[in-house]
Amino acid sequence: MSSSVHIAETRNLQALQALENAIKRDLDLLNYPARDWVLSRESSKGQKILDVIIIGGGQGGLASAFGLMREKVKNILVIDENPEGREGPWLNFARMHTLRTPKHLTGPDLGLPNLTPRAWYEALFGKDEWDKMGLIPKEHWAEYLRWYRQLLGIPVRNLTRAGAIEWNETEKCFSIPLTDLVLNTTEVALARKVVLATGIDGSGRWDVPAMITDKITRKHYAHTRDEIDFEQLKGKVIAVLGAGASAFDNASVALETGAKQVHLFYRRGDLPNINAYRWAEFVGFLKHHSDLPDKMKWRFIRQILKMGQLPPTDTFARATRNPNFLLHGNNKWNDIEQENGHVKILSNTGEFNVDYIIVGTGCVTDLSLRPELENVVDKIALWKDRFTPPENERNDDMLRHPYLGSHCEFTEKNPGEAPYLASIFNFTFGGLVSIGFGGASISGMKYSIQKLVNGITKQLYLEDAEAFYQSLEEFDLREF
C-alpha cells in the first residue's frame, strides 16, 4: 500500500450506532407523504408482479432502490450475481488504492446529510481521520455501500443472475428469468418496470481487441477486468495495452507482486493530464446535460471522450516510481505472434517480446452483447437511428449508445412497435451521451437517481390514472 494512502482501522461502533439512530430519525421526520400508493398487481395465475426489478446491486442499484423506497415504491427487488458485499468492482477487480472521485462526493445519500460517505466515515473513524484522508480507499467505499444497504433494508437477492427480459403482452409486465447460482435453478419473476444497473459495461462488454483474441491463447492474456493471478506473473515481462487508470493500476500490482518488467503501450503522443471529469463536476453539466439539444449533447460527450480518462496523480506516481515500468507512447501494435510460450509484439516503434498481456482498453458499447436484452435489442433506438453527427465529429462507439429518454428509459427504434421499452430504464454507463454522468458514475448520482426515480413514479401513476380517479370518487373518509 502506498504511503500516501491512509487506511483508518479503529472503528467507533458506538458513534456509528448514534449515526444510524440519527438517520432513522431523519427518515421519520421526512416521511411525508407516508401512505403506500402503488396499486398491487397479480398475474392471471396469481403470481405477484413486482413494481420494479433492479438488475445490479452495486451503488447504482442500491441508490435507485433507496430512491424508490423513499417514494413509497416498495414492491421491488434488487438482483446481483455476486455474494453480498462483493457487488461491483471494488473488492473484485478494482486494483487502485482509492476512489478517483474527490472524497467530498455525495450521491447515494439522496440529500440526507447523515447518510453521506463523510458522515459514515467520521462516525466510524473520527473527524481527524477524515481530514487526514486524501481520497476514499476503495475498501472503505465497499464497506460504506454494504452498511448503506443493511441500514436501509434494501431487498437484494445475491448470487442470482437475471437473464433475457421479455415483454408479456397478456399480463402487461416483463418476465425475467432469475437463476440461483448456488442451486442452479431458474424461476421467472414478473415486474412492471426494469432498471438495468448493470455497471460500466452494462451496455456492452469489456473489450479485448480481435488481434489478441484471434492470435493468443487465453493463458497469455487477461483484461484488467479479469481475475488475474499476479503471483504467476512473478519474474515475467508484461505488456499492458492502454493508458487509462486501470491499465496503470494493473501495471503497478504486477510490479509490486514481482513482475520483472512492465511495458505500457498507448497510441496517443502524450498522456492526458487534464481531467475532463473535474471540469464536469458542476451543477449545470451534471444536472442538465440531458436537457441539451442532441447536437450539443454529442459535442460535449465527444470532447470528454477525446480528452481521455487519465491516470490520477497517485496512480501515475505509483507506477512510475518503479524503475522496471516502461512507458511507450505513440505506439501502435501492427501484429502479435505467439511463439515458444512468449508473445512477440510487432509495433510501429519496434518489436517487443513479453510473457503476458494485460488489456486495459476499456469497454465497448453494444447492446447486442447483453444477455438481458436479447429479446428486445432490435427494437431499441440507438443514437445512430436518431442523429447524424458532422463528419468531423464522428464516433462509432457513441453512435451505438442507446438513445434514452430524459429518465434513462429506452426509446423505440420504430415508434409504436414496442412502447413497453419505455419501462426499461438503462442506468448504466451506456446512458453517457443521452444523460451525461448518469448510471455507473459516482459523480453524477446526486442528480441521476432523481431523474430515474421520477420517471418510474410518473409511469406508475399515469398508467393507473383511471383507477386513482375512481378511488377519489369512492373516497368516503368522513372528517366529522
Ligand X SMILES: Cc1cc2nc3c(=O)[nH]c(=O)nc-3n(C[C@H](O)[C@H](O)[C@H](O)COP(=O)(O)OP(=O)(O)OC[C@H]3O[C@@H](n4cnc5c(N)ncnc54)[C@H](O)[C@@H]3O)c2cc1C
Contacts with ligand X, residue ranges (CB under 6 A): 55-61, 79-82, 87-89, 94, 99-101, 161-162, 197-200, 246, 372, 439-443
Beta bridge partners of 195: 54, 425
Tell me how far apart the alpha carbons of residues 39 and 34 are, in angstroms, rounded to a whole number: 15
Using alpha carbons, select from 274, 269, 270, 271 the residue that is nearest to residue 244.
Answer: 271
Which one, 189 or 343, has the nearer CB to ligand X? 189
Lookup result for grid cell 414496442: 418
Q: Within the chain, how many helices (H) and strands (E) appear?
A: 16, 19
Q: What's the rounded Cα separation, in Å, for the pair 367 and 430?
A: 9
How far, in Å, CA of 480 to CA of 478, rounded? 6
Q: Give the nearest distance from C-beta 430 to ligand X in angstroms.
A: 11
Q: Give the C-alpha separation, 424 to 443, whole Å.
A: 23
Closest approach, Cβ 90 to ligand X, in A, equals: 7
What are the cell numbers at 218? Answer: 487465453
Measured from the CB atom, the residue of 39 and 91 that comes closer to ligand X is: 91
Nearest approach in angstroms of CB 163 to ligand X is 7
Distance in Å, CB of 313 to ligand X, minimum: 13
Residue with smaller CB distance to ligand X, 99 or 460:
99
Minimum Å gap between C-beta 160 and ligand X is 6
Exposure string (b/e) for 457-475, b if CB count within 10 Å is 16 or more?
Answer: bebbeeebeeeeeeeeeee
* Nearest-approach distance from CB 445 to ligand X, in angstroms: 8
Task: CB nearer to ligand X: give 343 or 438.
Answer: 438
Cβ proximity to ligand X: between 411 and 426 the closer is: 426
CB 423 within 8 A of CB 194: yes
The three cell numbers locating residue 403: 438513445
Q: Cβ closer to ligand X: 79 or 124?
A: 79
Q: Give the DSSP letter string of 257-286.
A: TT-SEEEEE-SSSS---S-HHHHH-SHHHH
Shortest Å, Cβ 61 to ligand X: 5
Distance CA 223, CA 205 (A): 11
Q: How far apart are CA 157 and CA 53, in angstroms?
A: 11
| 56 within 8 A of 439, measured Cβ to Cβ | no
Identity of the residue numbered 209: P
Shortest CB 138 distance to ligand X, Å? 8
Our CB check for ligand X shows the closer of 52 and 336 to be: 52
**38 touches 51 (CB < 8 A):** yes
Report residue 333: phi and psi, to 5°.
-80, 125
Indicate the SS3 state at residue 255.
Answer: helix
Closer CB to ligand X, 202 or 405, in the complex: 202
**Helix 465-473, helix 445-463: angle, nearest 10:** 60
Amino acid of residue 322: N
Rounded to the nearest whole angstrom, what is the least distance from the CB of residue 246 to ligand X in the complex? Answer: 5
CB-nearer residue toward ligand X: 83 or 113: 83
Q: Of how many residues is the chain composed? A: 480
Q: Among residues 32 and 282, whose Cβ is nearest to ligand X?
A: 282
CB of 253 to ligand X, least distance (A): 12
